[in-house]
Amino acid sequence: MFSSRVPGELAPNRLAAAGAARRSARRSFLDLTISNPTAAGLTYPDDILRGLAGDAAREYQPEPFGLASARAAVAADYARRGISVAEDRVVLTASTSEAYTLLFKLLCEPDGDEVLVPAPSYPLFDHLTRLDGVAARQYWLQYHGRWEVDGGSFAAAWSDRTKAALVVSPNNPTGSTVSDAEWETIARHCAQRGAAMIVDEVFADYPFDADAAPAGHPSPSACLVFRLGGLSKSAGLPQVKLGWIAVDGPDGLVAPALERLELICDTYLSVSTPVQVAAPALIERGAEVRRQIRERIRTNFATLDAAAAADPSVERLAADGGWSAVLRVPARESEEALVLALLEERDTLVHPGFFFDFPHEAFLVFSLLPPPGEFSEGTSRVMEHLRG
């Protein structure tokens, strides 16, 4: 079996360099790693950004947690998903990434405190934790017909300096959601150790099953919970820069946490007034973009499913939702060699599994956002290459 660990992250750098060289040379290729909805051929309502230019956007009202109207709109959007959130427990941020860094400042002391991070998962966590002087300790998701939290690694990852457990549901890139039992186990550990849950739900609106409700769990009563969301995914609007934190848990924990968080937010005041004023309209008009993305990811997921089903050497791993899907492929060569060959010989770009800390090879990660025609053609090229 080929190692998934490459010294100095050589393979990601080589892959990025290869893609950049092709773009510079204007040599076309099918990009099955795209994660930017504004570059995915979606149709946005003409008036979706109109609220940013309203008269109210010219008046500055420095509110640490954000304008009440915007926070109320976020709380109403949670209600759409069947989750009750009080608007006075909603904190606006410029992005989900900023939400993480605010919470690391709230919960952790630098140079020693730790947070638990799932693996496989998005590599952004490595950078966010390091930038705040926080140590990231991994707990593993294991695949047994579905992705499951490995209880042994989760328990073993804890130390006296653990301040929070991160939960990403649906996960990027596995597309897995935590079960009710896993949710309760994580919440119980956090409650027993005085730690918080940080729950990233940015892909909650995108279940693959058309009959499934958006992903979500009721907040546990015994520990502090921070739910993260934002318009980048829920409305396909990464450019407007609006995320949020919904704080929940026992009143005795929530009140002091909000008090400390208010000081942090008041220090930065990073969310622009125009986007806060426009938030109710952006959330409402974003529903049409969300509908298109749902249709897109389900169409492409079905295409990938059919392609994998036609080749017994390839397995499409079970997933619940999100914007990505994973194929387990024969490990005849390293993932680095495979993805570079796909780019150089088939003009198709996919992510290798080790980019997301898959524990072994060989896996390919597909974005489900490309236009269906491009996705179908790119998937066909990948399958042809795998057949040799």
Q: What is the pLDDT of residue 183?
A: 93
Residue-wise burial string across 81-105, b where 16 or more C-beta atoms lie within 10 A, e elsewhere? bebebebebbbbbbbbbbbbbbbbb
Pairing status of strand 114-119 against strand 196-200: unpaired
Name the least confident of 18-32, 67-81, 294-308.
Answer: 18-32
Q: In what order do the strands lie in the sheet with 224-230?
A: 90-93, 243-248, 224-230, 196-200, 162-168, 114-119, 135-143, 147-149
Q: Is the pLDDT of residue 9 over 50?
A: no
Torsion over CA: 39, 41, 42, 46 (sign): positive
Q: Is the pLDDT of residue 117 over 70?
A: yes
Pairwise CA distance, residues 47 & 57, whole Å: 16
Q: How confident is the model at residue 213 (pLDDT cuts 50, 70, 90)?
A: confident
Torsion over CA: 329, 318, 145, 9 (sign): positive
Q: What percent of the chain has pLDDT over 90?
A: 87
pLDDT, mean of residues 225-237: 97
Pick the CATH number of 56-286 from 3.40.50.460, 3.30.379.10, 3.20.20.70, 3.40.640.10: 3.40.640.10
Q: Is the pLDDT of residue 272 over 70?
A: yes
> Nearest-CA neighbor of 275 among 38, 45, 93?
93
Q: Is the pLDDT of residue 3 over 50?
A: no
Q: What percent of the chain has pLDDT over 70?
A: 92
User: Within 13 A of 357's CA, how many CA atoms are on the CB side?
Assistant: 18
What three-state secondary structure class fits 251? helix
Q: What is the pLDDT of residue 35?
A: 96
What are the boundaries of each domain within the chain?
7-43+288-387, 56-286
Q: What is the pLDDT of residue 21?
A: 67
CATH fold of 7-43+288-387 = Aspartate Aminotransferase, domain 1 (3.90.1150)
Q: Is the pLDDT of residue 10 over 50?
A: no
Residue-wise burial string across 206-222, b where 16 or more C-beta atoms lie within 10 A, e elsewhere? bbbeeeeebbbbebbee
Q: Is the pLDDT of residue 162 over 70?
A: yes
DSSP assigned state of 310: T
Q: How confident is the model at residue 299 (pLDDT cuts 50, 70, 90)?
A: very high
In this predicted model, what pLDDT tens digit does every residue of 310-344 receive, in sequence order? 999 999 999 999 999 999 999 999 999 999 999 99
Q: How far is CA 386 from CA 34, 101, 108, 337, in A?
A: 22, 41, 46, 12
Structure tokens at 284: 């409402």
> Nearest-CA neighbor of 340 among 29, 7, 131, 52?
29
Q: How confident is the model at residue 22 (pLDDT cuts 50, 70, 90)?
A: low
115 Cα distance to chain centroid: 17
